[in-house]
A = this chain, B = another copy of it.
């Protein structure tokens, strides 16, 4: 129970006017004399008046508050999106709730309930996927940034990358560099990430378009256990030990790519010359590696910006908000493909 502060009523008393006049002055609405205005403003300032948003929200049915739901803010990619979306919304006067769902359906459900109860003006899902729509009716604008799952049927916008095209372009890049036997490395999705199917499909499609037959031995897939870094390295070792040759690796994730690079270095392979490697996400892992890993950047800035824009547009009752926004990705060439 916080102590109650100075209210509009207190100011009205001190200024000898009605609460309506105080409200009008503070909101620059209605009409009042300059003298009254100055008096009210002075008193409000003297008393350290701060409007009670709970009251305002109740009256106006709008809290100027948005909820950000993400599986895990400590994840580099998500936290960057959270940062940017929050900043943009804040510029437009919105405050953001942060909700870590841990990819847990029940927690997410509870959050949504709470948030609706707390009268948020909108929901922004950042990353992950939601299998079941919430059991309560959510009649709010919803934005999905890199998130799969339907919540509501009315005002929803999806902002994401073209995952299929990313897989395709990564493969294409290696082929452009002269690779003829391109492997795929994937340590299966952690709880946070959407499935890899689309990327894999892009990889397959690209091989097909180039008339390259698929060699099943070059599709290195393993389960995520401890660290995708360790597991990816092992996949590469196993492949080499089995005598399968390749000159390019499409790694679904920079952590995976780093594991691949480490295993290759360990075996004396000249990464970037003998074997080219491309990762995905432009995370710390790709930058910290020696040689630095080429990767495909998803453009967090654009994802966040388009997401925030869509939310603000919907909040502003804009009628023609795009329901689906694809943000272009970008290949970042570093040593592992330029060697």
Measuring CB to CB, which residues of chain A are less than 8 angstroms from any residue of chain B?
A: 1-4, 48, 50-55, 57-58, 60-63, 65, 68, 72-76, 79-80, 82-83, 86-87, 90, 95-100, 102, 111, 113-119, 121, 136-137, 139-140, 258, 262, 284-285, 288-290
Contacts and interface: CB of A to CB of B under 8 A. Distances in A.
Contacts of A50: 113, 116-117, 136
Nearest to A122: B2
Copies of this chain in the oligomer: 2
A97 to B, nearest CB: 5
Contact of A61 (B1, B58, B96, B115): B1
B100 A98 contact: no
10 contacts: A1-B62, A2-B62, A3-B139, A51-B117, A53-B118, A54-B55, A54-B57, A68-B98, A95-B114, A95-B118
Contacts of A79: 73-76, 79
Contact of A100 (B65, B86, B114, B118): B86
B83 A2 contact: no
A279 B198 CA distance: 40
Contact of A52 (B100, B113, B117, B285): B117
Q: Please provide the 8 A-B residue pairs with the shortest distance between their CB atoms, ordered closest to farther.
A: A98-B98, A54-B57, A79-B79, A54-B58, A74-B83, A74-B80, A53-B118, A74-B79
Contact of A58 (B52, B73, B97): B52
Contacts of A290: 262
A98 B76 contact: no
Given A1-B60, A73-B86, 12 more contacts: A1-B62, A52-B58, A52-B117, A54-B119, A73-B83, A74-B76, A83-B100, A87-B102, A90-B99, A90-B111, A95-B97, A284-B284
A284 B258 CA distance: 13
Contacts of A83: 72-74, 100
A63 B1 CA distance: 9
